[in-house]
Amino acid sequence: MRFSLVVETTTCLRVRTPATPTPRIPIPIGPALAGPDGLKGMLMGTVLALIAALIAPNHSDDRSAERKPSPEAVVETVAYVAPQPEAEPAKDSDETSADEERWTGVVELSGSAELGITITISLDGDRWTGGIDIPMQGVDDLPLSDITRDDDTLGFTAPLPGAPESAWPRWSLTINDDGNATGTLRQSGGEFPTTMRLAAEGESLGPSRPQEPKPPFPYTTEEITIETAAGHTLAGTLTIPNEGLADGAAHPLAIMITGSGPQDRDETILGHKPFLVLADHLARRGVASIRCDDRGVGASTGDFQTATTLDFADDVRAQVAFAAGRSDVASIGLIGHSEGALIAPLVAVDTDAVDWLVLLAGPGVPGREVLGRQLVAMAKAEGATDEVNLEEQVRLQQAAFDASLKGDLTSFDAAIRELVEIQLAASGASATEAEIASTVRQQRGVIQSPWFQAFLELDAREPLREVEQPVLVLNGELDTQVLADQNVPAIEAALKHNDDVEVRVLPGLNHLFQPATTGAFSEYAEIEVTFDPGALEIISGWIRRR
């Protein structure tokens, strides 16, 4: 969401009007359908690179009131979104051994923009090793190199996969008499002040996520594995309310479907775990759930990279069959977020085992149309004002899509190259011919992938026209990834034959259903709320009434 951005294996636009020199970086063609999905893939790929380019602006404290949870109070507007599997112990970043040090601090950019960083380093013989965490970017324990640490200095480098060494961020800090370290991050010709301090033993440094469930739990969880028709195994968590469990009571059961990109069962993004929070809430309201790691992710087997939306629908069908074989299940529903809300209707139309659908921030038009509007909305949310420039970027984006679908790689490369040059000019950044050529090749690989090619033309309206089950449609008014005014009317029209449909656009909520200010991606990590409580109540209340 900045004019200066980095992407190797994604198409998520991130724009910022830079007030300081920007690094040389590859420029992506525009955002993909991103739930926690594509965005997370972006952050964990080469894009966690160019830290200066990815910085998200700080917001003053006067905004905090706008982001408070709205307990049971989402105002209805009738008019109509890796992660470790739960079975594996998560790394506790707040615990260090005796030979480890944790340093935490901020990198400063223009104005009040800051990026929080934490490094954990340890002495192995005569050599320091360690990693860096950047919560705002979803970076967790990225290995460091060239670590120096003595009484007076602290230095380290973050090698970035796929990026030239000139783009690697390098820190050089001086340790002052008070024990704090001050110095500079140098990257691609830019210099950014950095201040760090040695963290106290046991000090919590991670982002605050108050909704993350904590024991004791009024429900039971069970680790499950599900065999698929394609031959791979899905690993997941079955959550069952304790109420009536001893008496063999049956509960409604929700199967959660993640958005685009490799997702774990919690749909983890930027320290948030939306599906974990949702499963906890549902269980406390008497609704069981299944959430699985995507194929090839976490404890699930299979090949994610060659799969399309239709393949992921087959994985959901395997989960439906698993649920249907249980005696403690009263009804089976699908809760899909972002691309998951496209998958849910594909599954529902060919099985009587699915009793209801909840579509969260789902597309209602073909993918290429979603991407065009998304590019502009995400850019504007981050402060872009040049309408003409954005219109030209969309034109080139769509031209690249057309050429890709036709197999005209010459025209594709030309469109991407022109788009890169426009974005570079708009940002004031520069790039070598080799870097531009590399970006073109990378984007060709992304858009020519089986998933992307299928997504461009998949039209959610086609399966929706056949859905007979009750449907709850929820979208956030501030969603800049799957825009409500583009997609909700199309969903409504496709479901007009169905007399049990409830549609709501929820004011003030973004793509993750967080209470937001602008809906910009840069807000996601800053917002403490993972899933608006009012939206959670709407979902559980609707399910219990089925």
Residues 304-334 pLDDT 10s: 999 999 999 999 999 999 999 999 999 999 9
Count of CB atoms within 10 A of residue 159's CB? 15
pLDDT at 17 over 80: no
Is beta strand 190-198 parallel, antiparallel or unpaired with respect to 181-187? antiparallel
Q: What is the mean pLDDT of residues 155-183?
A: 90
**Angle 223-228-234 (CA atoms, 0-180°, nearest 5)?**
30
Tell me what pLDDT residue 113 has.
66
Reply yes or no on whether the pLDDT at 484 is more than 80.
Answer: yes
Round to whole Å and give the CA distance between 259 and 254: 16
Residues in the chain: 546
Which single residue is written with the structure tokens 């919560």? 135
The phi, psi pair for 312, rounded to 5°, reads -65, -30
Q: How far is CA 280 from the centre of its chain?
A: 20
Read off the pLDDT of residues 190-243 as tens digits, 9 standing for 90 and up. 788 999 999 988 887 777 899 999 999 999 999 999 999 999 999 999 999 998
pLDDT band for position 90 (cuts 50, 70, 90) = very low
- State the Cα–Cα distance between residues 302 and 281, nearest whole angstrom: 30
Tell me the C-alpha to C-alpha distance, in Å, between residue 433 and each of 13, 15, 417, 418.
21, 22, 10, 13
Q: Quick one: which of 284, 241, 287, 362 has its CA closest to 546?
A: 287
Q: DSSP labels for 299-368?
A: T--S-STT--HHHHHHHHHHHHHHHHT-TTEEEEEEEEETHHHHHHHHHHTT-TT--EEEEES---S-HH
130, 132, 138, 140: CA torsion to nearest 10:
10
